[in-house]
Structure 1
Amino acid sequence: MKRFIWILILLACASLTATAQEASLDSLLETKSNSIQDEIVKAKLTENERVFYLGKFFQQQNNIDSSLFYLSKVDSTLLSKKYHPYYYYELGKLYCNLNFEDKGASLEQQAQEMFEKEGLKNEANRINYDLHYVFRSAKKLKYNGRTYLDKLYNQGLVLNDSTALYRAHLGYAALNFNIKKKDSFFYHIRKASAYNVGYRALEHQSVIESYIGLFDENILQNNDSAYYHLNQSLKKALEVNDDDLIFTAYVNMATLPRFNGHYNEAIKWMRKAEQTPVNRFSLNQKRNLYRYLSSDYKQIGNIDSAYTYLLKYDKYKDSVDTAAQYRNLTLLHTLEIEKEKDEAKHGKEFNRKLIIGLIIVLTLVVIIFLLVGNNLKKKKRLAENEKELQQQRIDNLMKEHELLGIDAMLEGQEKERKRIAMDLHDNLGSTLATLKLHFHNLKVRRDRLQEEENAILQKTDDLIDEAYQQVRSMAHAKNAGVQANEGLLPTVKNFAAKVSIANKLIIEVEDDGMDERLENGLEIAIFRIIQELITNVIKHSGAKEAIVHLTHHGDSINIMVEDNGHGFDTNLIINTDGMGLHNIQKRVEHLGGEFNIESINYKGTTVIIDIPLK
């Protein structure tokens, strides 16, 4: 039974692939081409990386001696960080192949941790398969037979990794290699077949067929089924053209006739195996091959051939011992080099930490310096901003005083206007009315006057009447205002009508959206502005027609006063014009509005005002 368990382990090892290969050489390491070694040499790599890849390549090809030769030359301190988990993994597999299972397992576990830190979860998980077979084959290492397989399987389900699940079920099948666990064995074989996908599916199927054939032969003793599956394993191995698989398949084909006493048939298959080059464990494989051939020839009475293969067996046994000694010496030397590298690495690590510490201190000093500098700049900027704010406060205060002065002046003018209007109406108006009455009495007696005197009296009467009308008009104009029960639009229209009758000036008022009342103070301010603009038209423009437009649109009031007078040069506006255009402009700005004048000589004047509604 131990012989077949050893064969199962050998088959399982044949199904392993190099996990987590570097992307730039992935396709090279997966192919079976003989030109891979040349391609690695030609690749754009550092000498250290090239040596690493050659060691990795020969390990995948199961050429342990060449792999040991190259991997022992790798200086791990010169490898970039991304190579470290791969290097530790390859070195761990090498130690395991050389029977240093404890050191190999330790290195593979370190590689697994590195893969985890790098986020390469598939690569980390697949190492559990290697660890399972390392711990299972090494008697000196304590292992319950399932821990790493369970990890491989459970994590494979989480990651949906078919390769991990294939290997896990293959491992479970090997654990159930006895008659009492027949159902479990075939369950896991079926699951392994289901997860067998990818570029090595045919190679893996050869391994699965070998498992079934050996189980049929040794456990079920079903020779026909065993022969069928072992033959299928051989066909697939030949199709894949993998020497190690072909060698193992020939050896497996010999077990069935040997088991049934057909030694000539067994010798035929073993001779085919002898003619097949083998890479993995070549010395051990050849040694076992010659031992079986010597035994088979002895069984058929061919003593010469039995003796010949016995000599070959002894020769390879000595070669195995010599090679093992050489490998052990090389490996010990490699361990010493690794130890020296670790010490150098620790020294470099200390120096690196010291440099990092100095850089951190220097960085902190620079940061403090920059913070102090920025703080001073901020204080300077705050002082400048404070100075600007202070100047703005002074400017705003002066503007407020100016506006208060304008308000006071307007209020005074409003009172003076009312007083003058009352005086004109009550005093001068009544005096002119009395004068007109007396003059009328003189006219009643005009029959007694001469004709020339009568004409003079008529002219004087006209002049008195004209003076009276002018005084009455001025009184109405100066005393006009917005009544609380009327509103802005009716007041403007009444004012325009009265001024039109008194001054023979046609004033039209057009409005849009003025259905709702405005705030009373704003209405008074707008009316006084229009009133002053119309007064300027009467006094200065010589116009026959004028139009006042009032528009309420959205959040603003638009006022436009047009006349067809003789116009003027807007550059000649005098700022000290009493309640003239300059003061109207100030009043508009006080209300937050805009004031514009357009005027062309002999073509009239247009004043446009926009006032926002606050």
Structure 2
Amino acid sequence: MRRTQFNLPEGKWLVTRICIIFCIGALCYGRGYSQSSSHETRDQVIYNGLVLRDTGSINKAIKTANSIRISSVDSAEWLYRQTLFASKLLHYNKGIAKSYYGLGACFSNKNEQEKAVYYSQIALRFCGDDIEDHEMISSLYVLLSENYYYKGRYDSCAYYRYAALNELDANHIDNPRMQMKVYCSILQFWLNAHGDITNDKHILQVVQRINKLEQKALAANDSAQLMNIYFYKGGYYNNIQQNDSARYYCNLNLQLARKLKTGFSIPAATLMNIGITYMEDGKLNEAISYMQRSLDEIPENVRGTSRQYFFANIFLGEAYGKQHNYAKAIAITEPALAMANKQKVLHITDHAYKTLADAYEAIGNYEKAAINRRLYSEVQDSLMKAEKLELVYNVEMKYRIADKDKEIAQKELAIARNESRIKTKNFWIIGFSLGFLLLLVFCFLVYRNIHHKQKLQAEKIRNLRQELQISNLQAVISTEEKERSRIARELHDGMGGTLAAIRTRVSAIFRKHTTTDVTGDFKEVLQLLEEASIDLRKTAHNLMPEILLNEGLAKASELFCERVRKGHMLNINVEIWGKVQRLPGDMELTSYRIIQELVHNIIKHANATEAIVQMVFHESQLCITVEDNGNGISKDILQSNDGMGLKTIKERVKYLNGQIDIASSPGEGTCIYIELGIIAVKQNTATT
């Protein structure tokens, strides 16, 4: 894995950064392709007397909205809302799903990612089970991944791209356009996640599938399909540093785009990508020329909101900076950076901050150089390249291109059969138990009448004690988690910024006072500062895992155990059963800490080689089992309720109104079983 360093030689620095650029162009490109020569507006729809009385007229209106979604996004949004209303009246679920998808795409084009995600998730609820519905599900997954990318949520972005691939393969969807859309989205993500993909077998599998689609498109003379394929192949060859081939495919894409009259978006993105290949080759005059041509493609009336406009300006400023024309680099980059920040586009701003930091440092304005260097470091930290790459590998392991679908289907079938058997047994058990239960209820009522007063008093005392204990535990746990968050923020915002500023100043001193005797020492100091910054950011993120807040307990536990398996000699597996659901925040966080403590105990004390973490989600109950084949726990420790964090774990379980059972013998391993009531915890959370 290659990471961006401040002190990389010029050529390596450019190669490392350029691998993301075709991905940026691809996102802009994908949005531009739906543009057509049609310019139908809201007034024309009304003038044409469009009446949405049946599914045919609804589909026709949706097709019209699709054709004007780029050129007239407000009119398209209005028309989607009309088709949505008509589809609901007719209970036409396909129309509802298509209308919500269209609204999500409109808000995505307007850079309103929250609304785009909201409408896309609603659309998923109305998709059925035929091929057309599964194609719509795949398209929605791709749209969700694209918007999560712009939000900086790379874990969710990776998840939905591979979910689209799984949907494609599991349902044998052979639509070439849909296959191209999904395969290219996977390739696009890998181009962004990797610094070097030359020999990556997973990417080669995707490229092979795209090559097969290219052969079919050539045979069918499908220019639109070929145009898309050439664009992504240009990005692939750029990433593996074959820029002549990259420019060849980009020029083919540009020729087809002119022929098909797709509008400004595709030519602008392709010209920008050609300029990037020239900048990577060190041909800065050609790079500047193509960047300017890309800017000229974008109409004046959309430049204020077009991502491509400030993308091209940021890379144009970077090219001028490499020519040592620092004044022009600053003049071009700063307005483009302001546009990017206004539209909350995070992933491109690191290039702008780096260009400004280098330019200001070159002209002697060290204060602004330090500010931009610090902002560059913060953006790099937010992108979390190393953790993102690790997460991509985790997602790839869960969604293998070839064999994973069959395994998942077999497991789901086995679960369904087991649930059916359990339901049948439960039916007979309930029938035989009713009579006995009625007898028990009668006896209980008699007993309660006799001892009512004594029991009521004892119950009140017991409840007061329990509430006091829970309140104390809640205060302790809340204080502990707040302290973790405070320490994480102070490490990240305080010491992280200080280290970045120190490194900038040491770098400036190094350039001013470099001699033969101290050059090695200065380089070693700079390297140590860089390593300290990276370690500090990792420590801050580990104190408060972001994936727990975003994706929930199951995903966070899987990622934690995967990291343990990679970093230790313990082979630990995770099993998730039942319908996974999001739990109240305090329950998810406390459960995650319990699992962390139990796994750490296995690593530190058990001397185990195998372990398993199992979570079973029931409708009103969560069951957690942690088992290992280690040394076991002695009876003295179990009876004393002390040692190896057992007391803390039991207190956390008690705080969640749960129960814990420990089965262990020396030399025979340990099994810890925990039951947590989901409904009870929700009620307690609402009360507090």
TM-score of the two chains, using structure 2 as the length reference: 0.42
Which of the two has higher C-alpha Rg? 1
Q: Which has the higher contact order (CA 8 A, sep 6+)?
A: 2
